[in-house]
Chains A and B, each alone.
Chain A
Amino acid sequence: MNLKTYLDLYAVLKHDRSTREEKRAFGLQHQKWIDDPLRQLRAWSQERRPHLKKPLFSDTFSSYLYGITLTLSVVAFFLGFFSGIGLLSYSGHEPVNIIYFLAVAVVLPLVSISLSLLAMLRANRAQSFLVHISPAYWMERMVHLLPGRFRLSFKETEIPPRLSNWLVIVRSQLLALLFSAGLLCALLGMVVTKDIAFAWSTTLHISPEAFHTFLSTLAFAWKDHFPWAVPSVELIEQSQYFRLGEQLDTQMIAHASKLGEWWKFLAFATLFYAILLRIAVWCMAKWGYARALKRSFLSLEGVAALLADMNEPVITTSEKSDENAAEERNSVYMQETETLDRSYDRAVGWSMAEEALHLLNEHMSVITPKVDKAGGGNSLEEDSKIISRCTGEIVLYVKAWEPPTMDFMDFLEEMAHVARKIVVVPVGTAENAYRPKVREVEVWGRKLQRLESGKVWLKR
């Protein structure tokens, strides 16, 4: 798992259009990883990667990051190397003061390691000033100032502060490590190629014994195993240097060959404080980065939904198909009437009792010599007989709330062949004083339109 996988997953979540079913199929296919969401996510990202638009941001970003890191690494190494050369430059006139070298090989790493540890503790904060003082952070910032074509757009990708902070911390450790490696190389190189007389010098009143105690404390990590890499009190005494008109102490000149012994201590100090400790901090930073990456993976917008889609069964309750809707025909003219005549030749009620028909006639102030009950419980033969009798003008009562069925339409069609005029009257329930609802009458109107008969009228 690395930043590239994270960026790939980010892009997949943002741009991928895979269906719920595809995600679930993938989940079922990799069911053995159900308890390892990171593995599932990585595998999914790998699977969907080819579907993303090229060039992939993760590739561009990784190569950019690689380039920056490589450049900075080379710079750091040579900076360390040349710092070492500078610190150890020996003209032969006066010895090399080990205090300067110790400041760079021990003090500087200790200070920067402490700051790094503090930065790690605060790495989850959005703004970590300890991260901001890292050269890695500032180099990246400088890149943002480059003209457009050299710049990489970060706007489309949101790298959480937690992750970017750890990224800077890890790379800072790497740079510091390379700086220290450069320093060690310079020390070893100078020792091999030159005879250097080391000494120590300070304005402060420090006795050789006190200095020895201080150096023994510094050498706690190796003094038991490599006692020869700890300067003796004698050597310390012999190598104390006072600049007195650029004249060297005679005792120092007498023990000139011993003064070079300091290199062992300096090499071990560099190795332990600048390199081994830094490697330990680098490993810690890598661990923290991996943890941050893992958390960022799981916190990515859409990850929870993706995992749910993979691991939860797909439940569907409908079959997607275009419903074959009934054809609406509103364009055909429908003959309508607002009022009924005073009398008709016959009143017919569709699925209505005879008593109800008399009541309806009375309510509508219509006089008909005959009333007939059709549909409902009637047999088809009985209906046919009624139709044969419907020769004049017919008032046909229907229940407005019951939509017209084809059974009714068949009946009406046959009746239209015989009758002179048919007025279809949708009536409401007795509780509503037989008033139909407008919506119900419209339903009847739409259905009757299909008959396209000049004899059939609808009472509005």
Chain B
Amino acid sequence: MSTEYPKFAVVGHPNKGKSSIVSALALDDTVQISDTPGSTVRKQSFPLKVDGKILYELFDTPGFQRARRVLSWLQKHDVSADKRHEVVQAFIDAHREDERFRDEIELLEPIMEGAGIIYVVDASKPYGEEYEAEMEILRWTGQPSMALINHIDETDYSREWKRALGQYFKMVRSFNPMQASFSQHLSLLESIAQLNEEWIAPVNRSIALFKRFHSKMLEQSAAEISRLMYHALSYVERYTLHTEKASEADERKVEERYKERLRRFEKESQQRIEAIWQHKHLKKEQELLLFEGLDLFSEQSASIFGLTRKELLVTAATGGAVTGAGIDLLFAGHTLLLGGAIGAVIGGAGAYFGFNELADVKVLGQHLGKYSLETGPMKNRNFPYILLGRALYHMMKVINRSHAVRSVVEVSMESSFKEQWLDETLRTSLEKYHKMFRSGKEVENEVLQQYSTLIKTVLENFDRKAGLKQFSYPHQGDNAQ
């Protein structure tokens, strides 16, 4: 019965939230959760693995179906307490092929293999004596056990439940998988570890790992938000024109494309953040990123060899100046550097006035010049805070959402949200980076990392507040059950 790592079987009456608890503890939103009893028909293993090495293993099990019959069978074997677990094993062996006891065998097997028992009840419903047969069977197994009080609905019958559970379990804890924060998750793990002295060390290792994992996820999210900000603020939508002058339709088109692109940046970034937090199946409702009042301007530009008129002017002027300077040098400066000046003027003027003509020149059937319409980078100074606010709000919704919740999450930012994260000091710090992003220049990785660190600080503040339950993210309508 000994195992190298702790195992815990989440057991109980059907439909009391066992799968929700497992889903929340395993950070897995793929666990099948249903209000139809018997949706879990086989035990499911949820091992916490680090590089393939299991630290602990959780089992989601089917609910008891014929507890009284099982207990009746056990009670027919009048044995002393130290032999009772053998009787339970005998029951499993005798009924392994009996379809009637499939659920009981599925749930008893991991327990008999050494798993600790986490007995789940729903304290939003009154206590009933039908639970006693189940608790008695669990007592017969002789395995360390605890009761976990879940609250599927609003009503509260905790007091009567605690009185009853206290007679069967030495530890009774409350845990709402739909609203459990990260710290509650860890606290529950600590409690579970107390069931057996040998489990304390491995579970504590797991807790330390979860903390590191959580911090890493915050860091990755901050980096992801930083990337979104950089890409969105520096993005330029270019639309190649086939004529020299852009029409209104062209302008509308390039602006629409620009908006769509920014929305896509946001959507993809949100998907990546959901993946970081293991919410790959999250369904959400969210208002589109709007651009009202942001005055997007599209500018027409032309280029030759990829150089704009200004760049070509500078290049030609420099070329002219260098040539002229060569002549100046040949005259050992006696030309009073007029050669350089004249060369620069000729080169610059030639490029400026001859730009359009040069653009129309055809080489090997292609025009040297290209005309395009451009929108971006985003010049509006408020836009970064709108986008960042939306990203942070979405992120917090994801962090605070339990993996047990299956309902559609509504991501509609309250107007007061900005006050919760943005103050003058932070705005000043962020503005410096937003200016860099808007400039359209290539931003060094180090700069992005600095920005990311700033965002991480904001996220950590949110996370801390959420952990302390001070941060108000209502879960109304989020409950699946």
Interface hits, B1-57 → A, CB 8 Å: 13-15, 25-28, 30-32, 34-42, 44-52
Min CB distance, A71 to chain B, in Å? 17
Q: Is B426 among interface residues, defined by CB-CB distance under 8 A?
A: no
Question: In the bound complex, what is the Cα–Cα distance between A299 and B325 (angstroms)?
Answer: 39
Interchain CB contact under 8 A, A315 and B326 = no
Segment touching B, from A48-56, A363-371, A403-411: A403-411
The reply to whether A133 and B322 form a contact with Cβ atoms under 8 Å apart is: yes
Q: Which of the listed residues A124, A125, A127, A204 has the most CB atoms from chain B within 10 Å of its own CB?
A: A127
- A145 to B442, Cβ gap below 8 A? no
Interface residues of B in 149-166 (CB under 8 A from A): 155
A321/B132 contact (C-beta < 8 A), A204-B331, A443-B35, A443-B37 known: no
| Residue in chain B with minimal CB distance to A402 | B128
- Assembly CA distance A291 to B235 (angstroms): 26
Task: Find out whether the CB atom of B35 lies under 8 angstroms from the CB atom of A316.
Answer: no
- Compute the total of residue contacts between A and B using a CB distance below 8 Å: 181
Tell whether, in the assembled complex, residue A351 and residue B129 are in contact, meaning their CB atoms are under 8 Å apart: yes
Using known A-B contacts A317-B48, A318-B28, A443-B37, determine if residue A138 contacts B213 with beta carbons closer than 8 Å.
no
In the docked arrangement, what's the CA distance between A405 and B47, Å?
Answer: 29
CB-CB contacts below 8 Å: B172-202 with A: none
CA distance A401 to B17 in the complex (A): 13
- The answer to whether B64 has its CB under 8 Å from any CB of chain A is yes
Q: Is the CB of A107 within 8 A of B37?
A: no
Query: Which residue of A132, A162, A429 contacts B155 across the interface (Cβ within 8 Å)?
Result: A429
A70 to chain B, nearest CB (A): 22
Name A383's closest neighbour in chain B (CB-CB): B68
Across the interface, A129 reaches (CB within 8 A) one of B67, B103, B311, namely B311
Q: Report the nearest B residue to A322, measured CB to CB.
A: B32
With a cutoff of 8 Å between Cβ atoms, the chain B residues found around residue A375 in the complex are: 68, 130
Give the distance in Å from the alpha carbon of A445 to the alpha carbon of B68 in the complex. Answer: 23
Q: Does A439 contact B (CB under 8 A)?
A: yes
CB neighbours of A324 from chain B (8 A): 41-42
Q: Which residues of B contact A141 (CB under 8 A)?
A: 305-306
Could you tell me the distance between the alpha carbons of A321 and B30 in the complex, rounded to whole angstroms? 10
| Pairwise interchain contact A308-B220, C-beta atoms closer than 8 A | yes
Chain B residues within an 8 Å CB radius of A326:
36, 38-41
Decide yes or no whether B110 CB sits under 8 A from chain A.
no
Q: Is the CB of B132 within 8 A of A314?
A: no
| Bound CA span A315–B31, Å | 17
Chain B proximity of A424: nearest CB distance (Å): 15
For residue B69, CB closer than 8 A to chain A, the reply is: yes
Q: Are A376 and B51 in contact (CB under 8 A)?
A: no
In the complex the two chains form, what is the Cα distance from A129 to B305 in whole Å? 13
Contacts of A127 in B (CB 8 A): 311
On chain B, the residues within 8 Å of A133 by CB distance are 315, 318-319, 322
Once the chains bind, are A162 and B442 in contact (CB under 8 Å)?
A: yes
Residues from 320 to 336 in A contacting B, C-beta threshold 8 Å? 320-321, 323-326, 328
In chain A, residues 149-164, which have Cβ atoms closer than 8 Å to a Cβ of chain B?
Answer: 160-162
- Contact yes or no, B322 A115, CB < 8 A: yes
8 Å CB contacts to A: which residues of B103-161? Answer: 103, 125-126, 128-130, 132, 155
Chain A contacts for B368, CB-based, 8 A: 145
How near does chain A come to B306, taking the closest CB pair, in angstroms? Answer: 7
Q: Does B66 contact A (CB under 8 A)?
A: yes
User: Hey, what's the 0/1 contact readout for A183-198 against B, CB within 8 Å counting as 1?
Assistant: 0000000000000000
A315 with B50: CB separation less than 8 A: yes
- Please indicate the chain B residues that have their CB under 8 angstroms from the CB of A162 in the complex: 442
Cross-chain contact A111 with B49 (CB below 8 angstroms): no
- Residue of B28, B47, B306, B332 near A204 (CB, 8 A) is B332
Residues of chain A within 8 A of B330, CB atoms compared: 99, 103, 107
Digit string of A204-230 for contact with B (CB within 8 Å is 1, else 0)?
Answer: 101000000000000000000000000
Whether B322 contacts A107 by the Cβ 8 Å rule is no
Cβ distance A105 to chain B, nearest Cβ, rounded Å: 13
Counting CB contacts under 8 A, is A171 at the interface? no
Residues of B in contact (CB 8 Å), total 78
With A326-B36, A326-B41, A405-B65 as known contacts, state yes or no: A351 contacts B50, CB within 8 Å.
Answer: no
The answer to whether A130 touches B442 (Cβ under 8 A) is no
A439–B35 contact, CB under 8 A? yes
Is A299's CB under 8 angstroms from B445's CB?
yes
A403 and B14 in contact (CB under 8 A), knowing A28-B51, A129-B311?
yes
Q: Mark A293-331, 1 if CB is under 8 A from B, else 0.
A: 001001101001100100011111111110111101000
Q: Is A346 an interface residue (CB 8 A)?
A: no
A403 touching B27 by the CB < 8 A rule? no
Residues A385-420 near B (CB distance < 8 A): 399, 401-407, 410
In the complex, A30 has a CB within 8 A of chain B: no
Residue A377 is within 8 A (CB to CB) of chain B in the complex:
yes
**Given the complex of chains A and B, what is the CA–CA distance between A401 and B13 in angstroms?**
12
Contact A316 B130 (CB under 8 A): no
A325 & B65 in contact (Cβ 8 Å cutoff): no
**In the complex, per-residue mask of B62-84: 1 if CB is within 8 Å of any chain A CB, else 0:** 01111111001000000000000
Chain A 8-42 residues near chain B, CB threshold 8 A: 24, 28
- Known A-B contacts A124-B442, A317-B26, A403-B14; the reply to A447 vs B37 at CB < 8 A is yes
**What distance in Å separates the Cβ of A291 from its nearest Cβ neighbour in chain B?**
12
Q: Judge whether B72 and A380 touch: CB under 8 Å.
A: yes
- The reply to whether B66 and A145 form a contact with Cβ atoms under 8 Å apart is no
Is B30 in contact with A405, judged by CB distance below 8 angstroms?
A: no
* Neighbouring B residues of A233 by C-beta, 8 Å: none
> Is A407 a contact of B68 with CB atoms below 8 Å?
yes
Q: Are A407 and B65 in contact (CB under 8 A)?
A: yes
- Our pick among A111, A125, A298, A446 for the contact of B325 (Cβ within 8 Å) is A111
B128 touches A319 (CB 8 A): no
Q: Complex: how many Å from CA A265 to CA B155?
A: 102
A147 at the interface (CB under 8 A from B): yes
A338 at the interface (CB under 8 A from B): no
- In the complex, the answer to whether B223 meets A317 with C-beta atoms within 8 Å is no
Bound CA span A428–B332, Å: 106
Partner of A401, one of B72, B125, B216: B125
> Of the candidates A305, A401, A405, which one forms a contact with B63 in the assembled complex, judged by CB atoms under 8 Å apart?
A405
Select from chain A the residue with minimum beta-carbon distance to B331: A204
Q: In the assembly, what is the distance between CA of A77 and CA of B469, in Å?
A: 74
Point out the residue from B41, B69, B319 that lies within 8 Å of A325, measured CB to CB: B41
Of A111, A161, A323, A431, which contacts B442 at CB under 8 A?
A161
Q: Which residues of A lie under 8 Å from residue B227 when comparing CB positions?
A: 301
Measured CB to CB, the closest approach of chain A to B401, in angstroms, equals 16
Q: Do residues A103 and B329 form an inter-chain contact, with CB atoms below 8 A?
A: yes
Contact of B315 among A111, A129, A325 (CB under 8 A): A129
Residue of B nearest to A214 (CB): B332
**Assembly CA distance A367 to B475 (angstroms):** 45
Q: Whole-angstrom distance from the CB of B261 to the nearest CB of chain A?
A: 15
A108 close to chain B: CB less than 8 A: yes
B65 adjacent to A138 (CB under 8 Å): no
Question: Could you say which of B32, B45, B129 has the most chain A C-beta atoms within 10 Å of its C-beta?
Answer: B129
For residue B364, CB closer than 8 A to chain A, the reply is yes
List the A residue with the shortest CB-CB distance to B312.
Answer: A132
What are 25 residue pairs bridging A and B, where the CB atoms are less than 8 Å apart in the complex? A99-B330, A126-B441, A126-B442, A130-B318, A132-B307, A146-B364, A295-B445, A312-B216, A313-B50, A315-B50, A316-B49, A317-B27, A324-B41, A325-B32, A326-B38, A351-B128, A351-B129, A376-B129, A403-B13, A403-B38, A404-B37, A405-B65, A405-B66, A429-B126, A446-B36
8 A-B pairs with the lowest CB-CB distances in the bound complex, closest first: A403-B37, A406-B65, A318-B28, A141-B305, A317-B26, A299-B445, A377-B129, A376-B129
Identify the B interface with A (CB < 8 A).
Answer: 13-15, 25-28, 30-32, 34-42, 44-52, 63-69, 72, 100, 103, 125-126, 128-130, 132, 155, 209, 213, 216, 220, 223, 227, 278, 305-307, 311, 314-315, 318-319, 322, 325-326, 329-332, 334, 363-366, 368, 440-442, 444-445
- 19 more A-B residue pairs beyond the given contacts A129-B311, A323-B40, A403-B14, with a C-beta to C-beta distance below 8 A: A103-B326, A111-B329, A124-B442, A126-B442, A138-B305, A301-B227, A313-B51, A314-B49, A315-B209, A318-B47, A323-B31, A325-B32, A351-B128, A375-B68, A377-B129, A377-B130, A405-B13, A406-B103, A407-B65
